[in-house]
Structure 1
């Protein structure tokens, strides 16, 4: 028992040290886990033969990942993005797999193994790419959205790949000592059945997952929720995923397939978010453990002996995938820097490559020696991914940032209005709807085509173009406008735009959206007449509801909210002047801190004053919530 505790401590300690360090360097958590495994395995030799056994257990994290992916998929949303998902994603997987298969076959590999190798390298790293796009704020760009579409298709494509690989088994590799999981368990419902009966059992199992997930899961979860015990709900969620995986294994199907189908079925369940919250920690831990075992299982003897082959194949994978992706970017009209983001972001192999490699060895499709080399190739391409994003930042973006020639041409603005709204995302759309509902003429500008198309569908006159460009502002009638609403999703462009308008068109009243207090001060310094933080009033509203939930009368909670706003406004000018000192080079401003504490003290005093109880005839009847 002591040895198990020591081994568990080693794995967890390696993850705790390596993963935060890798994240801090911008390398991503997956690479951190891989490095941790390399250090405790081949480098220090702290773990040994138990790595393979642990890897079998940790592979259940992949099943949980596909369950959660299935829960994120809304059929309506999938249909809306069908062109990018099926067209772009499907072509990427197909063309890359064909190219990989052709190269492997040319190198003398049998076609079954070559096809599997092509499928493995058709996948990219969902974990690394999505995390990097979020960190760099590129998720909402055209390149980021198309990248997400392809990654989503790849995640879905893993399901048929896992189903196909056992059909490619090579007789010459069978009986080599690494049997499949079905043989290990000794349990199978279809082992001795004829073909037609085997098919019926498989269809019945899939149907049971879909029907049971839709009709039986809700009563089950309602029954469990009534117990009021969170740990029982967690146990139920794990039971569901494990049971589905076991059922799929009994009919010789991939457990991941059943988990994915169950996730899709439960995507619209009222228990979806609670299920995700309960499964996510186990998924993350098991996947992390899986990647550590992959790193620990890297054979440095093979790397030392075949370093030239590994390096050549790693670069070939990146270059080959980049050529396919660049061609698809041109075909689907993903131009300028977005095309390069799409190309460089997906040009690596992915974490599912390790899963498919392990699965292929277990099912006698890829020999163990080739699998070890390919594992090194996958890991190398993932290690090089941060360098590809660095190349995008420092080589691609500077080339396109100031260039307008490759961008879609702005619309011809043939209408003027007293109100101009710059930016129609989730914030600007509400402003536009309110103005239109009161018959206020508006002109809308946005540089995202999808946002413009969405606004046009609700009959709001809008034009494609970068509202921060002075020439477009002039064409939209800024000289005659009474009001400019700045709601674009970019801090620097917002400040620059306000400065320009107040300098050349000082009579225009400028309302600006701020991200936080500091950004609000910047906009105020730039000349904005009115600044509203995007989360300020929604946070106040939620705070009012929080007070009500804790037993405060709704009217009193509302009065407290108004007091909070009045208190902020009373000290706004003082805080703004103190902030100027910080912006002018005084990095530590005692005055600002003192004023902020003064504001908090005044707020506490205002909240403590006596309140008049509302009269029954003035407010609706309200019953305080019962204490739990």
Structure 2
């Protein structure tokens, strides 16, 4: 990646972050500014962008539970949304073409349907980036959104086969040999340790799967996703995903730059892109209506529909294919690129305050809820708990175990990751599944006996949001949280957290105290040296 590209990405990313906008918006803006200055998309930058998407799909697979895809709300919601969206939007685009023919050019119903289909996809890159930055990829709505994205990837592969008439190679059946090879791959992961060899192992596995699938004429990105899914049950899957996170984020900067560098619009194209972007509310409403009809709670339907209300980079692939087949004019590529960019900005900004906005509009949204709940959406009971630990990672586990030694059964843990909760419960711990930022959860959870709630979360944004939800729900007990950096402590205290512990300082203090207690407990066996 050229230094100029990196410099502009840094300047624009930092600028928008300072004013409270996600850096992703700045990277998109940097791409368009570089384009206007005469810079062109290079092969090296495109390779970096492609690598970022491949690693991202691999890490999605590492955190994906295949059972999530079999849920009715995932497959039925995805298929129905795509069919209804394509039907309605193709008619709308055909009408727009009739009214704005001088701008859109010739647009028959077949071309309109193709564009509508391309716009039915949501951006994997944008959605995953938002969910990870907000720490919500393991929540109910996060897992649902990822499930929909995976289903859309499957639709994408089917479309590419149908559009090009190019069937996978007969050798594609040999890919099934990866399954009996899993024990060997597991051993490789075990041997890779915890240092620089671990992310390198991840690169080799992700890119190896990509090239294997590409070799037999199947979308290579799908191979990276499936490889991640196959390795998701390995004990080191979470560690492997975290080790790749920094690389993935850096490479994805290249992807956002490529969006702006692909083409520069004129006034007519910009107008048309804005018109296409105005269809985004319909996309969100359609998702919400379908998910609510499938018996999901209002909050889950709202957050899922909001994070999925964007257009996908796959629309550019469909557009390129349609142009090469003579089905669309060249200008639609530019329009689609602009519409995708606008949708990224809209979703990033709207999702930023989604939780506080839900508190204001929840009464209107809950009117569309179905009375009978899905099994996953039934709230648990913890009416006897005096201490609640939210976030059962390493810090949360340590806090839970220490408190349990002191107050026994009056301690309850909570985590949004259902698989983790099930595993901890099997181990004899009292842990419930819940999203701390869910105001509906606190409205339905009896925490009247809770004296202390510990927020063992890495993101201070999540800690602040949960604190606000607790106050809205009328909680009057104490709230403690952790901070990784000194400048985060005052921010948390200013937002009604009663006590903040510096993660690294307290870890050293705990280590010293535990070691000292061990020495005192074993003094009777210490033999002085003469």
How far apart, in 2, do the equivalents of 1:168 and 1:11 lie?
35
Match of 1:44 in 2: 37
Query: Deviation per CA, 1:474-526, whole angstroms, max 9, x where unpaired?
Result: xx9x7xxxx653438643565788996xxxxxxxxx7x44225979x989x99
How far apart, in 2, do the equivalents of 1:358 and 1:83 lie?
33
Match of 2:223 in 1: 258
Match of 1:164 in 2: 159
Q: Cα 1:320–1:290, aligned 2, differ >3 Å: closer, same or farther?
A: same
Larger radius of gyration: 1
Contact 1:422 1:467 in 2 (8 A): no
What is the Cα deviation at residue 536 of structure 1? 7.9
Q: 1:121 aligns with which of 119, 122, 142?
A: 119
Match of 2:463 in 1: none
Task: Please show how residues 435-446 of structure 1 align to structure 2 within 5 Å.
Answer: none
| Partner SS for 1:59 | helix
How far apart, in 2, do the equivalents of 1:400 and 1:559 lie?
50
What is the Cα deviation at residue 36 of structure 1? 0.9
Q: Cα 1:496–1:33, aligned 2, differ >3 Å: closer, same or farther?
A: closer
How far apart, in 2, do the equivalents of 1:221 and 1:245 lie?
18
| Partner SS for 1:23 | helix
Structure 1's unaligned 5+ residue stretches are: 1-6, 171-190, 410-414, 501-509, 548-556, 563-610, 620-628
How far apart, in 1, do the equivalents of 2:34 and 2:313 lie?
20
How far apart, in 2, do the equivalents of 1:150 and 1:238 lie?
25
Query: Deviation per CA, 1:527-560, whole angstroms, max 9, x where unpaired?
Result: xxxx98799899559952xx7xxxxxxxxx6254
Match of 2:270 in 1: 307
Structure 2's unaligned 5+ residue stretches are: 98-105, 372-380, 456-465, 484-488
Match of 1:9 in 2: 3
Is structure 2 residue 342 aligned with structure 1 residue 380? Answer: yes
Query: Deviation per CA, 1:331-389, whole angstroms, max 9, x where unpaired?
Result: 13456666544444432213444455456667877553322222122222223334544
How far apart, in 1, do the equivalents of 2:335 and 2:472 lie?
52
Task: Please show how residues 226-375 of structure 1 align to structure 2 within 5 Å.
Answer: 230=196, 235-273=200-238, 275-277=240-242, 279-301=244-266, 304-316=267-279, 318-334=280-296, 339-354=301-316, 357=319, 368-375=330-337
Q: Cα 1:109–1:66, aligned 2, differ >3 Å: closer, same or farther?
A: farther
Task: Please show how residues 428-507 of structure 1 align to structure 2 within 5 Å.
Answer: 484-487=450-453, 490-492=466-468
Contact 2:388 2:450 in 1 (8 A): no
What is the Cα deviation at residue 153 of structure 1? 1.9
Contact 2:90 2:116 in 1 (8 A): yes
What is the Cα deviation at residue 39 of structure 1? 0.8
How far apart, in 2, do the equivalents of 1:339 and 1:267 lie?
26
Is structure 2 residue 481 aligned with structure 1 residue 515? Answer: yes
Contact 1:89 1:153 in 2 (8 A): yes
What is the Cα deviation at residue 8 of structure 1? 0.9
What is the Cα deviation at residue 113 of structure 1? 5.2
How far apart, in 1, do the equivalents of 2:343 and 2:312 lie?
8
| Partner SS for 2:232 | helix
Is structure 2 residue 27 aligned with structure 1 residue 33? Answer: yes
- Higher relative contact order structure (alpha carbons within 8 Å, sequence separation ≥ 6): 2
Task: Please show how residues 58-77 of structure 1 align to structure 2 within 5 Å.
Answer: 58-76=49-67
Contact 2:63 2:237 in 1 (8 A): no
Task: Please show how residues 106-255 of structure 1 align to structure 2 within 5 Å.
Answer: 114=112, 116-129=114-127, 132=130, 145-146=140-141, 148-169=143-164, 200-204=170-174, 206-212=175-181, 214-220=182-188, 225=192, 230=196, 235-255=200-220
Match of 2:514 in 1: 558
Match of 1:579 in 2: none
What is the Cα deviation at residue 297 of structure 1? 1.8
Match of 1:412 in 2: none
| Partner SS for 2:333 | helix
What is the Cα deviation at residue 83 of structure 1? 3.7
How far apart, in 1, do the equivalents of 2:129 and 2:91 lie?
32
**CA RMSD after TM alignment:** 5.5
How far apart, in 2, do the equivalents of 1:96 and 1:288 lie?
30
Match of 1:567 in 2: none
How far apart, in 2, do the equivalents of 1:154 and 1:468 lie?
29
What is the Cα deviation at residue 161 of structure 1? 0.4
Q: Cα 1:466–1:288, aligned 2, differ >3 Å: closer, same or farther?
A: closer
How far apart, in 1, do the equivalents of 2:186 and 2:326 lie?
40
Q: Cα 1:51–1:358, aligned 2, differ >3 Å: closer, same or farther?
A: farther
Is structure 2 residue 84 aligned with structure 1 residue 95? Answer: yes
How far apart, in 1, do the equivalents of 2:347 and 2:178 lie?
38
| Partner SS for 1:300 | coil
| Partner SS for 1:253 | coil
